[in-house]
Structure 1
Amino acid sequence: MPPPPPSPWPHYAWAAGHLLLLVCAIKYLVSIFTFKAASNVIWYKLSYAGALISYAIVCFKAVGMPQASPQYAQRALADENVQYFLLSLYWFLTRPIFPSLIPFATFSAFHTLTFVRTNIIPKILPSKPPPPAQPGQPAPRAEQHPYAKAIGTWVRNNYESAMQIVAFAELVIFAYVSVGALIRRNSLLTPVIYAHFLRQRYMFSSFTRQAVNAFTAAADARINAPGSPPWLQQGWVAIKLAGARWAAAIPGGTPAAQPQQERRR
């Protein structure tokens, strides 16, 4: 007897989590610009509740049930979905940091569009039946609805540029929480945790490496310009050396892992 087909409900729960994240993030970010964020914190929390639902489902599929073993922990922490799940849990439990929603909302926008294209449009706007197959030729497939085609084309054309924006946004978030720690707007622990997250992203994400390299090149040009004070140049060199050593090291002192192929979350 063949095994029963997998339940579609986890996929629908995953999509619902992304939709919840996207809608609530938009509402909270709008409240920032209308100076009503203090009374709309619930939208921030609901955004990350949606993220936790979606990422928990993906993490379970990617790494399985949690296990008390160093091998499982190493494999899980190298998975980008686990990294974003742990980060979303931290954001959910701490004081709101509004820029932190930008990367998560961007991911959710692409996932929501893809879900609409592959699951919603075919049900409410069915494709035209394919033409009859010619003798000796494989049966033609039904054409996608024009709306589904347009969404697919837009997602393909804009995915890489959106991921580049996310990578730069994550650097801005690190600067934001670092300054926030200095002026006591957020915990001193927040930039430490986020720096570790960025270190993991640098190891496994080509987009993050490109963003860091672009920022470093721009800072080099500005700091090493004629007339720049020597102490600033020396300090910048020390920061880069310390950052390079820290980014290259992983727990246990072994060399950094090779970047894995990036997956859509």
Structure 2
Amino acid sequence: MPLTQRLTHLAQTLQFAWFVGHVTLLLSTLRYGLSYITFSYASRWAQVTYRTAFLSATVTYGIVVYKAYRARMRQGKQGGALAMAADENVQYLGMALVWLFSRQIPLAILPFAVYSVFHVATYTRGNLLPTIQPPQQNTAASGARPKPSALSEMIGKFVKDYYDSSMTLVAILEIALWFRVLGSGLLFQKGSWILLGIYTVFFRARYAQSSFVQGAISQLTARVDAQLANQSTPPAVRQGWGTFKNIIQQAADATDVRKYVGGPSGAGGPKKAQ
């Protein structure tokens, strides 16, 4: 088919709408970041781009959740509310809606933007580039594996080299975001304690499902332990840190859903929200 027909056929798919959503999220993030750097984050443009970013996130994760739900229906599988709540994409869809209607917290955009970078890269390599420049007919007819273009190889190398470190970055950003929301709660900003409760439930689910989050928390805890092990640290500070860790550990144990549903208690493998 001619290029225009190939692109039209690609644009009619639901997955292309998902791709456009991620591209829009990245563009909105860049535009909002520019407003933040220039201290104009209270301007109308900044507010529009902030909301557009989370509206795009809602659309992209909504598409993934819809496709997964439709696939289960075709297979005759009836997932309960608990099974849906355990889906990472449902969790991110819920948080995107929460951030969409909450006051602006710039840090909240960054985890979604990091995911979007890899989704855009993967879709470009696997769908967009083959549509623009499909394999030659003689290569396809001979059954030989088509050689990827230089751009495709570069994208593939980028995803392979930086995926794990970027997921660790997402985990660190989500930890920092929890403390950011906690700070708003301590300042008694309007609705901050409700937001803290919602985000804590989300983050607890992330901890249960993502080895990247578990690793980031372990590293953070080890660094604080090493800093407080210094003899110059007041005993009251060390005791307070130990109490804080015990409270967090007890809360994590009490909210481990797998204990109540009979699931495995081991750490889950790396998860990839879409």
User: TM-score w.r.t. structure 2 length?
Assistant: 0.84
Offset from partner CA, 1:35-92 (integer Å, 9 cap, x none): 111111110100001000010111123345999xx96111111111111111111000
**Identity fraction in percent:** 31
Contact 1:66 1:72 in 2 (8 A): no
SS at match of 1:90: helix
- In structure 2, the partner of 1:136 is none
What is the rounded CA distance, in whole Å, between the counterparts of 1:160 and 1:252 in structure 2?
Answer: 26
Count of residue correspondences: 252
What is the rounded CA distance, in whole Å, between the counterparts of 1:253 and 1:145 in structure 2?
Answer: 49
Correspondence for 2:153 among 141, 145, 149: 149
* Structure 1 residue 56 corresponds to structure 2 residue 62: yes
Displacement of 1:130 in angstroms is: 2.2
Paired letter, 1:93: F
Q: Residue 65 and residue 117 in structure 1: after superposition, are their counterparts in 2 closer, same or farther (change >3 A)? A: closer
Displacement of 1:191 in angstroms is: 2.0
What is the rounded CA distance, in whole Å, between the counterparts of 1:64 and 1:203 in structure 2?
Answer: 26
Map 1:1-265 → 2, pairs under 5 A: 9-39=13-43, 40-64=46-70, 72-128=80-136, 129-130=138-139, 133=142, 139-185=143-189, 187-248=192-253, 249-250=255-256, 254=260, 257-258=265-266, 259=268, 262-265=271-274
Unaligned runs of 5+ in 1: 1-6, 134-138
Paired letter, 2:90: V
SS at match of 1:207: helix
Contact 1:106 1:162 in 2 (8 A): yes
What is the rounded CA distance, in whole Å, between the counterparts of 2:71 and 2:155 in structure 1?
Answer: 34
Paired letter, 2:129: I
Unaligned runs of 5+ in 2: 1-10
Moved over 6 A (4+): none
Contact 1:14 1:53 in 2 (8 A): yes
- In structure 2, the partner of 1:4 is none
Contact 2:212 2:270 in 1 (8 A): no
Paired letter, 2:171: A
Displacement of 1:20 in angstroms is: 1.1
Q: Residue 158 and residue 228 in structure 1: after superposition, are their counterparts in 2 closer, same or farther (change >3 A)? A: same
Q: Residue 126 and residue 51 in structure 1: after superposition, are their counterparts in 2 closer, same or farther (change >3 A)? A: same
User: TM-score w.r.t. structure 1 length?
Assistant: 0.86
The answer to which structure, 1 or 2, has the higher relative contact order (CA under 8 A, 6+ apart) is 2
